[in-house]
Amino acid sequence: MNPPPNKSFPVSWDQFHRDSRALAWRLTSEGPFHAIVAITRGGLVPAAIIARELNIRVIECVSVKSYDHQNQGNIQVLKAINADLLAADAQEKKILIIDDLVDTGATARAVREMIPHAHFATVYAKPKGREMVDTFITEVSQDTWIFFPWDLDFTYAAPIAGGTD
């Protein structure tokens, strides 16, 4: 039996904004948070929305590279977390880590090791990485590729079942 074809899940700006606000609503019972750490680049947009909704003013980022445009590779930390936030986490002040997606959990695992007491939230989660996050909004299958709004342009989309009629 052949494996199912990879699926795509295109997300519009409107949908991503709604899903990020839904994540903020879900996080209200977990706070208040001292700061947000956004995982760049995907976590920057939801972090901005969540920071606004939860009135969080301290925003930091950690730059972790694990993908090119479609393939996952080794984890590389390109920019570490600010020492002040690492100290705040050690004092168990509430830190919120935000990313757009947890896929295999490799990036999440690396960031969790940096700030182990933080609450980790993503907009979308896949089964292999779901255990690494505390809060998420939508689960998608492992074989689904999410196309975020910053990855998309308006073009023709072929019907799922094929054909042109």
68 is annotated as an active-site residue? no
From the candidates 84, 100, 143, 151, which is the catalytic residue? 100
Q: Are 62 and 111 in contact (CB under 8 A)?
A: yes
> Beta strand 35-40 with 59-67: parallel, antiparallel or unpaired?
parallel
Nearest to 95 by CA among 76, 125, 121: 121
From the candidates 14, 68, 84, 99, which is the catalytic residue? 99
Q: Are 127 and 142 in contact (CB under 8 A)?
A: yes
100 is annotated as an active-site residue? yes
99 is annotated as an active-site residue? yes
What own/partner pairs with CB < 8 Å and gap ≥ 24 does 77-83 have? 77/110, 79/40, 80/114, 81/37, 81/114, 81/115
From the candidates 103, 134, 143, 151, which is the catalytic residue? 103
Task: Tell me the catalytic residues.
Answer: 99-100, 103
